[in-house]
Amino acid sequence: MRNSLQRAAVVGTTLLLALGLSACSAGEGGAAGGNQSVKAACDIMEKDMRAVASDMDSAALGADPVAAASTMNKVADQLKTSAKKVTNPEVTKVVGPMIDSFDKLGTALEKISDDPSAAMELASDMQTLATDMEEAGTAYNKVCKG
């Protein structure tokens, strides 16, 4: 289970790093979604996520599920706040699954921190979640790194 937990945290960190680097190479996009281009929407996500990327590194390396849960919830909240500023439909479509993944990871880590015996029960869910996070990151990169 520890490997699944670490894998999910590492995938989350990687996803945030991808967000952090995407602004440098975001596609120009059109004026879809009002006047917001793909690049402008991706820039919003990238700028807002830089603030939590270092926290994600600590959570991925740490062994404290309470701190990791708090960090994942912080990331999910930041993603939600950032997503409210995004009107481009292409970017909105790929940000939703990322938000869902971080929400689910935070919830799973909260369960583990409340009841460490739940870790074994959640092992399969954590594997699925790690895969979902990888897929969300890939979809985001296709849009924002073009």
CA 124 to chain centre: 19
Question: Phi-psi category of 29—alpha, beta or left, where left has phi over 0 and alpha has psi -120 to 50?
Answer: left
DSSP code of residue 86: -
What local confidence, expressed as pLDDT, does residue 139 receive? 94
Domain positions in the chain are 2-23+31-144
What local confidence, expressed as pLDDT, does residue 15 receive? 53
pTM over 0.75: no
What local confidence, expressed as pLDDT, does residue 118 receive? 81
Distance CA 36, CA 42 (A): 10
What local confidence, expressed as pLDDT, does residue 85 receive? 93
What local confidence, expressed as pLDDT, does residue 21 receive? 39
Q: Are 82 and 22 in contact (CB under 8 A)?
A: no
Q: What is the block-wise mean pLDDT of the chain (146 residues), using blocks of 10 residues? A: 53 50 38 74 87 67 72 85 93 92 86 82 84 90 88
